[in-house]
């Protein structure tokens, strides 16, 4: 059984996504969070928009497996599917709708871009686990990567809650999130986050999420099936025009085989999305706070 005809064109098209990184690093900031415009007529409720956009991923994942004929998921693939749903249960429901205080408004274009990203990713991860699964035998290496996923997931949740605490009344805070001397009047409602890996970097939640999905990809590609056989261009049923031309260009050039597996493509897409924002956000912290810790890096301790 082979993947649906849409799988490879979608996967190859998804490889275009990381090329936005130079734009978001040097040209513009995505209009949400601290960089959101408070006056745009295209703003929507931040909590609800975030939840809806993130729900696209698990709903697409589940729908893809329901409507497309596919091999039965082996046991490791089922474990990974459970981890995928656990992540999005928190990210799409618990975090924005239960735990998070009121968020900054979200520009509708950001919400739509998030939804489109999650639509492609949910489809590709589902098909990747079904047609190119990890080895059927669950061994200690698999459980080690699952453990790494859990550490990354819990670290991401913890450091997100540190940020949420900065917007909660003192009596409702869950963790020690800042110090009194960080209440700089010129910073407005923003404060210097403290605790955990914030000692070393400004965005430990990003670093932990990268660890989470890197371990997920390692677990998903624990066999030779990671070397996906790219079908001939004639079988890809490419659309005419710009999209078809770009896909043909990518398919004709050398590309690391690991990136032909959707789980590794997800890791690359996340890093190229979040690294520019971490670098710009770190600069914003340093500009906003006179007493911002000099030893902190943006996202990788001691390096970047």
Instruction: Give yes or no for a contact between 66 and 126, defined as CB atoms under 8 angstroms apart.
Output: no
pLDDT per position as a tens digit, 267-276: 999 999 899 8
Q: Where are the domains of the chain?
A: 7-288
Tokens of 201: 């970097």
**Confidence label for 238 from pLDDT (cuts 50, 70 and 90):** very low
Say how far apart CA 236 and CA 191 lie, in whole Å.
Answer: 51
| Whether residue 252 has pLDDT greater than 70 | no
- Asked if residue 47 lies in contact with residue 111, where contact means CB atoms within 8 angstroms, the answer is no
Indicate the range of 74-78, 99-103, 269-273 predicted with least confidence. 99-103
Q: Sorting pLDDT into bands at 50, 70 and 90, what band is 19?
A: confident
Cα separation, 229 vs 217, whole angstroms: 18
Question: Which range among 80-84, 175-179, 283-287 has the greatest average pLDDT?
Answer: 80-84
Contacts of 137 (CB under 8 A, 6+ apart): none
pLDDT in tens, 154-207: 999 999 999 888 877 766 666 655 555 555 544 446 788 988 999 999 999 999
Higher pLDDT among residues 234 and 222, named by residue: 222
**61-73 per-position pLDDT tens digit:** 999 999 999 999 9
CB atoms near residue 303 (< 10 Å): 8
């Amino acid at each position: 059984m082979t993947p649906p005809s849409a799988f490879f064109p979608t996967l190859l098209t998804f490889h275009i996504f990381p090329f936005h990184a130079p734009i978001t690093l040097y040209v513009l900031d995505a209009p949400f969070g601290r960089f959101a415009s408070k006056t745009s007529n295209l703003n929507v409720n931040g909590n609800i928009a975030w939840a809806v956009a993130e729900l696209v991923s698990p709903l697409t994942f589940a729908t893809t497996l329901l409507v497309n004929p596919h091999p039965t998921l082996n046991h490791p693939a089922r474990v990974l599917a459970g981890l995928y749903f656990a992540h999005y249960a928190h990210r799409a429901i618990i975090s924005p709708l239960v735990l998070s205080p009121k968020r900054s408004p979200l520009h509708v274009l950001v919400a739509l871009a998030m939804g489109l990203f999650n639509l492609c990713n949910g489809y590709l991860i589902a098909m990747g686990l079904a047609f190119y699964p990890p080895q059927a035998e669950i061994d200690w290496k698999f459980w080690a990567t699952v453990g790494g996923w859990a550490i990354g997931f819990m670290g991401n949740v913890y450091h997100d809650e540190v940020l949420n605490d900065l917007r909660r009344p003192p009596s409702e805070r869950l963790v020690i999130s800042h110090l009194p001397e960080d209440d700089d009047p010129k910073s407005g409602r923003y404060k210097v986050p403290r605790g955990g890996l914030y000692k070393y970097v400004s965005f430990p939640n990003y670093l932990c999420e990268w660890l989470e999905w890197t371990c997920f990809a390692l677990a998903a590609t624990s066999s030779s099936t990671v070397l996906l056989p790219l079908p001939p261009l004639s079988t890809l049923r490419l659309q005419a025009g710009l999209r078809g031309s770009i896909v043909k260009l990518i398919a004709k050039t050398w590309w690391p085989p690991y990136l032909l597996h959707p789980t590794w493509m997800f890791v690359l897409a996340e890093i190229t999305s979040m690294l520019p924002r971490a670098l710009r956000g770190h600069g914003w912290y340093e500009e906003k706070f006179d007493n911002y810790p000099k030893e902190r890096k943006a996202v990788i301790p001691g390096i970047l």
